[in-house]
Amino acid sequence: VIILRNQFLKVFLFFKKSLAKQIIKDAWPMAFSATLGIFMLNTDIIMLGWWRTAEEIGYYSVSQRIVKLLYTLPALLAVGIFPTLSRLIKQNEKQKAKNLSEKIMTLIFLMAIPLVIGGVILGQPIIELIFGQEYLPAVPAFQILIISLLVIFSGPLLFNLVLAHNQQKRIVKYVAAGALGNVIFNAILIPIYGIIGAAITTIVAYSLYYGLTWRKIKKTADLKILPYLKKITAAAIIMGVFTFTLNQFGLNVIINIIISAVIYLGALYLLKEKILEEVMSLFKKI
């Protein structure tokens, strides 16, 4: 106890009030945004409880689980590149930071687009495989929620760019707009459409939040993503045709997913999509 007390007291020897104020000043927008983000993730469940049955809430919770697990993929990627991205921006290496951001965002959509197409097509067998036939009413909500990947997957990288450019104060109002929109649309749609309304609201609310954030970052970092998505989208559509056909023939969902992934990667190769090589090459130059 004495040792711990002495170590604890040493902290106060190096304490600087001015530094603490600066840390709080820089950190409060992030803390507030994170709090509102958690609020947005849970609002639909809470508001479903006001108007719908426990059974419907259970179906919606099931549809959320897989999608929320997928949300971690871009977060892991964004965490890995943040130190490099932050360093480039602080060193005023604008072009390198822009190139890295565009390539990583393209890589994020390379994951998101096929997951959305595959998830919509295979929603029923996926839910049935993981949770059983009794949870099939969750399928429509899952098929809508999976579309949210197109919006939410970009979030972690956008947030990194916001931090790196020290723009966190400016996006607080965007998070607030998304959270408010979440409440309003849930209040309108849940009483009418139930879990379908909650799923639609998720897409609308996050589109509002990340759309406004994207517009701000685009002005700051001059990012251009659409030109990079043509081959990825084409490959995902090709994959989707095969996924749908195999599903119609009743092929096991796991085998279908494996074959679809191979077809997608093969289509990317045939279309000469080189995003992975470009990202690795960019890191070597940096």
**Would you list the domain boundaries of the chain?**
27-224
Rama region for 52: left / alpha / beta (φ>0; ψ in -120 to 50; rest) = beta
83 by Cβ neighbours in 10 Å (0-12 / 13-18 / 19+) ranks as exposed
**For residue range 126-147, what is the model confidence (pLDDT) as tens digits?**
999 999 999 999 999 999 999 9
**For residue range 181-215, what is the model confidence (pLDDT) as tens digits?**
899 999 999 999 999 999 999 999 989 988 888 88
CB 60 within 8 Å of CB 44? yes
Closest by CA position to 113, among listed 236, 253, 272: 236
Q: What is the mean pLDDT of residues 234-247?
A: 96
Count helices and strands in the chain by DSSP H and E runs: 14, 0
Q: Helices 17-51 and 168-193: crossing angle, nearest 10°?
A: 10
